[in-house]
């Protein structure tokens, strides 16, 4: 059974709806709030009825948000930023909200790196913009703010997506709209969380790229750890890892798919790692063998194998139910 599959290119999107739209959404969820901008230096004077306040706040009154997606801060880069801050000050205000759990404290939504660097520079106060936000908006904005700056590791980005899914029931499509990424980008990002923790840590530390890591998804933990060690120690390229993955998959299946080249020689067909993952996921979902053949990763064919009419009938029922849902 074959079905043609063609993916139409979508126009590139900007960063979702943007921070302005999210702030607007948050303000709609907080009734009876008025926007007010003022400059004051003490926490105790914060008006409780405002949705935004600009001010300078003591460094000791700021705390990292528990939902902050960014967890790794490069010490060298932090030291360099602190030297700049010591000379020029904090040029861009931090984005914060009143802490829902600690009186007179403010959670940092955006700008934790600047806050840490300001401490190293021994500043007493930093400029902030206070927004009265609920948990969902705070997490969305923290994620977008970091993605805009390319501040997150691939794992931190994936963990941010997963937290929005777990706590606020976002779909992958909604996440794509929020951050201005395609659904497939979000899906591939979330797949990184299936890797062993030690491998995710290597990505955090910059020893392993997301491109390398994606080639490891779907292999056994032993194979993943072995290949990760080779990547780091031997400096293997993504292409080399893809070849090794292909070899492992073919050995497990006991086959060596080949194609005829223009020279008449037979070469091993090399599929993209994401295609192999999709084959596995579709096969698990349908309970049948699935093969995806694509020359350009844009169009191709999906082949679903069945061994009886009962299996075919069950497949048709699944597709019918999916179409109606």
* pLDDT tens per residue, range 201-255: 999 888 999 999 998 988 889 999 999 999 999 998 888 888 888 888 777 666 5
Token pair for 237: 């390229």
Sorting pLDDT into bands at 50, 70 and 90, what band is 86? very high
pLDDT score for 219: 87
Q: What is the DSSP letter of 245?
A: H
Report whether pLDDT(22) > 80. no
Backbone angles phi, psi at 163, to 5 degrees: -65, -40
Distance CA 35, CA 214 (A): 45
Residue 265 and residue 279 in contact, taking contact as beta carbons nearer than 8 Å: no
**Is the domain of 84 the same as that of 210?**
no
Q: How many helices (H) and strands (E) does the chain have?
A: 13, 10
pLDDT score for 44: 31
Report whether pLDDT(37) > 90. no
Considering only CA atoms, which of 47, 71, 281 is closest in space to residue 158?
A: 71
pLDDT score for 279: 80
Range of the domain at 134: 18-179
pLDDT score for 296: 62
CA–centroid distance for 108 within its chain: 20
- How many structural domains are present in the chain? 3
Question: What distance, in Å, lies between the first and last C-alpha atoms of the chain?
Answer: 23
User: How much of the chain exceeds pLDDT 70, in percent?
Assistant: 75
**Is the domain of 322 the same as that of 228?**
no
Stronger pLDDT, 260 or 170, i.e. the higher one: 170
For residue 188, is it within any domain? no
Q: Is the pTM of this model over 0.85?
A: no
26-30, 86-90, 167-171, 310-314: least confident range? 26-30
- pLDDT tens for 160-211 read 888 888 888 888 888 888 888 888 888 889 999 999 999 999 998 889 999 9
Q: Across all residues in the chain, what is the average pLDDT?
A: 76
Report whether pLDDT(145) > 90. no
Whole-angstrom CA distances from 134 to 24, 67, 99, 163, 180 are: 12, 12, 10, 15, 21
Sorting pLDDT into bands at 50, 70 and 90, what band is 149? low
**Across residues 35-41, what is the average pLDDT?**
29
For residue 89, is it within any domain? yes
Stronger pLDDT, 216 or 268, i.e. the higher one: 216
Sorting pLDDT into bands at 50, 70 and 90, what band is 148? low
pLDDT score for 16: 47
Edge-to-edge strands, sheet with 52-58:
52-58, 125-131, 94-98, 106-110, 62-64
**Is the domain of 302 the same as that of 323?**
yes
Considering only CA atoms, which of 176, 170, 149 is closest in space to residue 13?
A: 176
Q: What is the CATH number of the domain that holds 245?
A: 1.10.10.2830
pLDDT score for 263: 44
User: How much of the chain exceeds pLDDT 90, in percent?
Assistant: 24
Stronger pLDDT, 33 or 310, i.e. the higher one: 310
**Is the domain of 233 the same as that of 316?**
no
**Is the domain of 98 the same as that of 123?**
yes
Q: Catalytic amino acids?
A: 112
For residue 234, is it within any domain? yes
Residue 35 and residue 23 in contact, taking contact as beta carbons nearer than 8 Å: no
Residue 177 and residue 16 in contact, taking contact as beta carbons nearer than 8 Å: yes
**Across residues 134-157, what is the average pLDDT?**
81
Q: Which run of H or of E encompasses 72?
A: none
| Domain stops at, among 242, 270, 298 | 270
Report whether pLDDT(60) > 80. yes
For residue 13, is it within any domain? no
Q: Scanning the structure block, which residue is given the tokens 């003591």?
A: 58
**Is the domain of 221 the same as that of 101?**
no
């Amino acid at each position: 059974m074959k079905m043609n599959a063609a993916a139409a290119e979508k126009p590139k999107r900007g960063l979702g709806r943007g921070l302005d739209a999210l702030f607007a959404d948050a303000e709609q969820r907080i009734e009876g709030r008025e926007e007010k901008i003022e400059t004051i230096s003490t926490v105790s004077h914060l008006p409780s009825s405002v949705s935004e306040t600009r001010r300078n706040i003591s460094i000791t009154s700021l705390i990292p948000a528990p939902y902050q997606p960014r967890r790794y801060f490069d010490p060298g880069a932090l030291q360099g930023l602190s030297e700049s801050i010591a000379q020029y000050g904090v040029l861009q205000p931090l984005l914060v909200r009143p802490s829902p759990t600690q009186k007179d404290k403010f959670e940092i939504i955006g700008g934790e790196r600047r806050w840490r660097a300001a401490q190293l520079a021994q500043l007493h106060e930093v400029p902030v913009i206070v927004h009265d936000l609920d948990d969902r908006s705070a997490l969305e904005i923290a994620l977008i703010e970091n993605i805009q700056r390319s501040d997150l590791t691939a794992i931190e980005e994936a963990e941010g997506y997963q937290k929005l899914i777990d706590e606020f029931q976002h779909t992958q499509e909604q996440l794509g709209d929020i951050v201005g990424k395609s659904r497939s980008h979000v899906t591939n990002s979330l797949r990184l969380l299936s890797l062993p923790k030690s491998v995710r840590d290597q990505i955090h530390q910059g020893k392993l790229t997301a491109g390398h890591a994606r080639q490891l998804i779907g292999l056994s933990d032993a194979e993943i750890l072995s290949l990760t060690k080779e990547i780091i120690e031997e400096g293997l390229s993504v292409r080399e890892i893809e070849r090794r993955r292909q070899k492992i998959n073919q050995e497990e299946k006991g086959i060596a798919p080949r194609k005829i080249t223009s020279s008449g020689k037979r070469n091993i067909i090399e599929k993209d790692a994401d295609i192999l993952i999709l084959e596995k996921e579709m096969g698990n979902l349908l309970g049948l063998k699935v093969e995806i053949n694509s020359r350009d990763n844009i169009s191709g064919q999906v082949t679903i194998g069945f061994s009886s009419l009962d299996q075919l009938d069950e497949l048709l029922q699944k597709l019918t139910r999916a179409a109606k849902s």
